Amino acid sequence: MDQALRTYLVVTGAYWGFTLTDGAIHMLVVLHFHNLGFSPLQIAFLFLFYEVFGIITNGVGGWIASHIGLNRTMLAGGFLQVVALGSLAVDPAWLSVAYVMTAMALSGIAKDLNKMSAKSSVKLVVPQGENADTRLFKWVAILTGSKNTLKGAGFFLGGLLLYLIGFRWAMGGMAAVLLVVYLYVWWALPMGMGKAKAKAKFSQIFSKSSEINLLSGARFFLFGSRDVWFVVGLPVFLASVTGWNHIEVGSFLALWVVLYGFVQAGAPALLRRGHKGQGPQGHSARNWALLLALFPAAIALALGYGFDPALSLIIGLFAFGAVFAINSAVHSYLILAYSDQDKVAMNVGFYYMANAAGRLTGTVLSGWLYQTQGLAGCLWWSAGFVLAAALISFKLPQVSDSPAVSASPSE
């Protein structure tokens, strides 16, 4: 096995292990504190620092990685998640709102260090040469799609562990397993991976090309459109209105994310014919966003006209998930395609800073909107966010027209 493929497999395996715990911790916190009588808005605020510190981490994470290497930022993310999980495996009397928000802040830092490191690494290990763009699209789609499949499994794991062994033991057990995973990653990853040849200045964090800025803006609204109804509104609606129990809610959301991940991993095959064997272009992000906006609007209309809420959500959510997965795969390819190798970590960090800001906005709005306007209100806001992403995407250039792509690695 060559070194590039071996590194890719280690990075992907580490990302899988981390993602299982990331999905599980979300489901455990939402369901556990819903059981304790927290309102939807209070539950949303438990994730406030998770998203805020994710924004900060993405902003500086790429700059840090360009100085110390992607292997070290990935390890830092893994070990921080171990600390976050362990800090929640304490006496329940300690679990005040402020305490949980602080633990989730550590988890947010960990998650975005890990994600930025894993996705930036793909750009570095993909062999260059003929068909490099299609190979890049395939490898990043597999990484991202498999990650989302595992996050769905994490949702199920969280609901199952809460039911079987309770909140405290679930957190402690996951911390122990993840510690073993990242001790292996520490041994297996090559040192210095992703260090820039020329040290970037801190001021360059916000100095981006127009295509990176536009794609980041579209990413903000795309992921805000998902989380504005998915993070708090949907699981609380399923638990309180449809009467589903923890296992049913966790299993349904897990199945959704698993299928979402499969679609995302298969996006290169789905899109190959339309792109004549090449990777997606700027107009791809626009077209898929316009299609996506139809689905939250359709679900909101179905709920408004009195259709069966569970059936409307099941059909609508899976349709939304399939198209959202392709949108996300296109974005994940474009950010790497628009970046040259020496700046990939900083560009990906900036891009995921916008991603985290969109999720933060969506998370807070999800709790507030569900409490004031119900799930239908969340869905109409979701449709509006997707349309905003589509409008921004109208100005995205073709990949071949991007200066970062057309330049040689030495330029």
Contact 348, 116 (CB under 8 A): yes
- Tell me, what's the pLDDT at 347? 77
Residue scoring higher pLDDT (273 or 377): 377
Name the most confidently modeled range: 17-21, 260-264, 286-290. 286-290
- Phi, psi of 150, deg, nearest 5: -70, -30
Under DSSP, the state recorded for 92 is: G
Residue 370 to residue 393: CA distance in whole angstroms: 29
| HSE-CB for 226 with a 13 A CA cutoff | 26
Average pLDDT, the chain: 79
Contact 71, 191 (CB under 8 A): yes
Residue 123 to residue 120: CA distance in whole angstroms: 6
Residue 71 to residue 190: CA distance in whole angstroms: 7
- Tell me, what's the pLDDT at 11? 79
Mean pLDDT of 382-394: 94
Residue scoring higher pLDDT (163 or 390): 390
Range of weakest confidence among 183-197, 203-217, 243-257, 355-369: 183-197
Residue 378 to residue 136: CA distance in whole angstroms: 35
Given the structure tokens 């556990």, which residue do they identify?
32
Residue 205 to residue 96: CA distance in whole angstroms: 35
Closest C-alpha to 122, from 106, 102, 137: 137
Is the pLDDT assigned to residue 346 strictly greater than 90?
no
- Phi, psi of 43, deg, nearest 5: -65, -40
Mean pLDDT of 51-60: 77
pTM of the model: 0.69
Range of weakest confidence among 47-61, 212-226, 360-374: 47-61
Contact 73, 61 (CB under 8 A): yes
- Tell me, what's the pLDDT at 282? 79
Give buried/exposed letters for 30-52 (b at 16+ CB in 10 A, else e). Answer: bbbbbeeebebbbbbbbbbbbbb
Residue 40 to residue 233: CA distance in whole angstroms: 7
Closest C-alpha to 45, from 105, 107, 135, 134: 105
Q: Which two tokens stand for residue 105?
A: 């802040």
| HSE-CB for 386 with a 13 A CA cutoff | 27
Residue 383 to residue 349: CA distance in whole angstroms: 26
Q: Which two tokens stand for residue 43?
A: 């539950």
Task: Check the CA dihedral 205-23-90-49 and report its sign.
Answer: positive
CA 353 to chain centre: 11
Q: Where are the beta strands (DSSP E) in 145-200?
A: none
Q: Which two tokens stand for residue 192?
A: 């210095």
Name the most confidently modeled range: 20-29, 130-139, 374-383. 374-383
Closest C-alpha to 78, from 173, 187, 181, 192: 181
Residue scoring higher pLDDT (16 or 225): 225
- Tell me, what's the pLDDT at 380? 95
Count the residues in the chain: 411
Identity of the residue numbered 267: A
CA dihedral 35, 41, 43, 44 (to 10 degrees): 150
- Tell me, what's the pLDDT at 407? 35
Residue 49: partners with Cβ closer than 8 Å, 6 or more residues away = 101, 102, 104, 105, 108
Q: Which two tokens stand for residue 267?
A: 């996006």
pLDDT tens string 93-139 = 788 888 888 898 899 888 888 877 777 776 666 655 555 566 666 66
> How sure is the predictor about 383, in pLDDT bands with cuts at 50, 70 and 90?
very high
Contact 345, 196 (CB under 8 A): yes
What percent of the chain is modeled with pLDDT above 90? 16
Closest C-alpha to 136, from 346, 339, 274, 353: 339
Under DSSP, the state recorded for 231 is: T
Domains and CATH numbers, the chain: 3-190+210-404 (1.20.1250.20)
> How sure is the predictor about 222, in pLDDT bands with cuts at 50, 70 and 90?
very high
